[in-house]
Amino acid sequence: MQSNNNPIPVTILSGSLGAGKTTTLNQILSSERELNAAVLVNDMGEVNVDADLVERESDLTQSDDEIIEMSNGCICCRLRGDMLDEVGRLADERDFEYLLVESSGISEPIPVAQTFARGFEDAEFDPTGVYELDTMVSVVDAHSFWQGFDSGQALTDDSIDPQGNRVPEEALMDQIEFCDVLLLNKCDLVPDAELEEIEAVLETLQPRAKIIRTEHGAVDPDDVLDTGRFDFDRASQSAGWMRELQEGHDHEAAAAEHGVTSFVFDAGWPFHPERIADLFADLPDGIIRAKGFFWSAGREDIAMGLDKAGQSVRAGPKGTWIASLPKAQQERYFAARPEIKENWDEQWGDRGTELVFIGREFDQKALVKQLEDCVLSEAEMDENWNEYPDPFGPDEQRELALADD
Ligand SMILES: Nc1nc2c(ncn2[C@@H]2O[C@H](COP(=O)(O)OP(=O)(O)OP(=O)(O)O)[C@@H](O)[C@H]2O)c(=O)[nH]1
């Protein structure tokens, strides 16, 4: 029985399809720690076995605790409101002390966390004060991560995208970049030396998280329950690429451990659209993550964004250059964020490029040279940029499926 009115702590498990979320959940539920938990499992409907598995393997069935299964949709988007209604109903009964949530393999962790931390407008139930998000856990499949990484293939076995619009590697990157605890699971399938390299990559992608190696999900429950580690603002700012951007352009990454390095490329002149699109589609295999914005010649109104996660690369319109806004609106930006003024170019304003690259065993000098070659030459600066063919199209950050062409 929930004996008081303290908020019910919540631990959310994310991770790619087959990474070991259910196995981990069962380990937690069957551990010696007495846990009176309710469990919410979101299985997207692609494999309807999870709730059965949890019920079959855990003590929950015996103790008659509640397992809620939510299929045919993802709790990070379509089922956000439904999820809150369900946990609202559970909270009314108040016969459990801890809520465990297993999100689907392609769930984005941020909206799921937001739903618990801040509520959701379409739901009747307001979780604030009733639930308290305690720990965001991401389970990474060490074996498929390593295989993909080493061979330049996808970083997850999960080639299923039930909604047709989520690339599993992007979800994996979100899960790595937004969490408090990273469980590196299936360590039995990867040699120790390689585990160290994977850890070095994960630490670079996500410097804040506690990384724990597991086999068959055998985690100490104290590492994932009642940790008090979750902090929405810190979690949203903890991705390695963000830190890299914030630490400035001249920042040299700490001595590369296991060949993992990162750098920021910036430029005040625009890229040639075709040259940069070709390069983005053919970045070195070792680049596991790239993120930031860039200026593509001919797009003087629109800031373009780059988002590479594993082998998936998206690039396209992302926002508006402040320099293209009416003066009065610009002034409001300057007042709110004086630092914009500091990097303001007399002629081009805030237009420019700032891209973070994170990778392992790639030739940084060669890549910087390639990027520089994509920047317009002096002669090109005088050309009519609107005559350049534009490979990026109107859609926001579409997938660049150019790599294999
Ligand atoms: N060798 C090995 N196999 C594991 C480990 N952890 C889980 N497995 C196996 O991997 C498979 C997938 O594990 P699950 O726990 O179902 O993974 P999941 O993340 O819940 O998968 P979905 O819910 O389908 O996304 C199962 O066959 C597990 O027995 C591990 O550490 N080592």
**Residue 43 pLDDT > 80:** no
Q: Whose CA is nearest to atom 32 of ligand 1?
A: 186
- The predicted model gives 301-320 an average pLDDT of 87
The verdict on the CB of residue 50 being under 6 Å from ligand 1 is: yes
Distance 107 CA to ligand 1 centre (A): 17
Q: How far apart are CA 403 and CA 405, in angstroms?
A: 6
Of 1-5, 251-255, 289-293, 372-376, least confident by mean pLDDT is 251-255
Residue range(s) in the chain whose domain bears CATH number 3.40.50.300: 8-238
Helices (H) and strands (E) in the chain, counts: 15, 13
Say what percent of the chain tops pLDDT 90. Answer: 41
Tell which atom from ligand 1 comes closest to the C-alpha of 188. Answer: 32
Position with higher pLDDT, 256 vs 2: 256
- The predicted model gives 125-137 an average pLDDT of 92
The verdict on the CB of residue 19 being under 6 Å from ligand 1 is: yes
The verdict on the CB of residue 252 being under 6 Å from ligand 1 is: no
Q: Cβ(195)–Cβ(187) under 8 Å?
A: yes
**Residue 398: what pLDDT?**
56
- The predicted model gives 50-63 an average pLDDT of 44
Among the listed residues 179, 104, 184, 188, the one whose alpha carbon sits nearest the alpha carbon of residue 149: 184
Residue range(s) in the chain whose domain bears CATH number 3.30.1220.10: 241-399
Among the listed residues 216, 229, 120, 222, the one whose alpha carbon sits nearest the alpha carbon of residue 179: 229
Position with higher pLDDT, 358 vs 225: 225
**Residue 329 pLDDT > 60:** yes
- The predicted model gives 358-368 an average pLDDT of 91
**Residue 211: what pLDDT?**
96
| Options 3.30.1220.10, 3.30.70.20, 3.30.70.600, 3.30.479.30; CATH of 241-399 | 3.30.1220.10
CATH number of 8-238: 3.40.50.300
Of 289-298, 312-321, 379-388, least confident by mean pLDDT is 312-321
The verdict on the CB of residue 17 being under 6 Å from ligand 1 is: yes
Position with higher pLDDT, 198 vs 104: 198
- In 29-164, the DSSP E strands lie at 37-42, 67-70, 98-102, 131-141
Q: Cβ(181)–Cβ(212) under 8 Å?
A: yes
**Residue 31: what pLDDT?**
83
Q: How far apart are CA 353 and CA 357, in angstroms?
A: 13
Say what percent of the chain tops pLDDT 70. Answer: 83
**Residue 154 pLDDT > 80:** no
Of 163-172, 184-193, 312-321, least confident by mean pLDDT is 163-172
The confidence band for 388, taking pLDDT boundaries of 50, 70 and 90, is: very high
Helix/strand/coil (H/E/C) assignment for every residue in 145-161: HHHHHHHCCCCCCCCCC
Q: Which tens digits make up the pLDDT trace of 338-349?
A: 888 888 999 999
Q: Which tens digits make up the pLDDT trace of 243-281?
A: 777 765 444 454 456 678 888 999 999 999 999 999 999
Distance 100 CA to ligand 1 centre (A): 18
Q: Within 13 Å and on the Cβ side, how many CA atoms surround 384? A: 2
Among the listed residues 349, 358, 305, the one whose alpha carbon sits nearest the alpha carbon of residue 149: 358
For tokens 């990097």, name the residue: 343
**Residue 41: what pLDDT?**
87
Evaluated on CA atoms 342, 343, 344, 350, the torsion sign reads negative
**Residue 50: what pLDDT?**
44
Q: Which tens digits make up the pLDDT trace of 183-232?
A: 999 999 999 988 998 999 899 898 899 999 999 999 999 999 999 999 88
Q: What are the structure tokens assigned to 328, written together?
A: 């009065």
Q: How far apart are CA 368 and CA 75, in angstroms?
A: 40
22, 44, 70, 144, best to mutate for ligand 1 pocket (most atoms within 8 Å of CB)? 22
Q: How many residues does the chain have?
A: 405
The verdict on the CB of residue 18 being under 6 Å from ligand 1 is: yes
**Residue 334 pLDDT > 70:** yes
The confidence band for 160, taking pLDDT boundaries of 50, 70 and 90, is: very low
Residues ≥6 apart with Cβ < 8 Å to 334: 340, 341
Q: Whose CA is nearest to atom 9 of ligand 1?
A: 20
**Residue 140 pLDDT > 90:** yes
Which residues lie across from 345 on neighbouring strands? 349
Distance 79 CA to ligand 1 centre (A): 24
The verdict on the CB of residue 69 being under 6 Å from ligand 1 is: no
Tell which atom from ligand 1 comes closest to the C-alpha of 216. Answer: 31
Tell which atom from ligand 1 comes closest to the C-alpha of 53. Answer: 16
Distance 15 CA to ligand 1 centre (A): 11
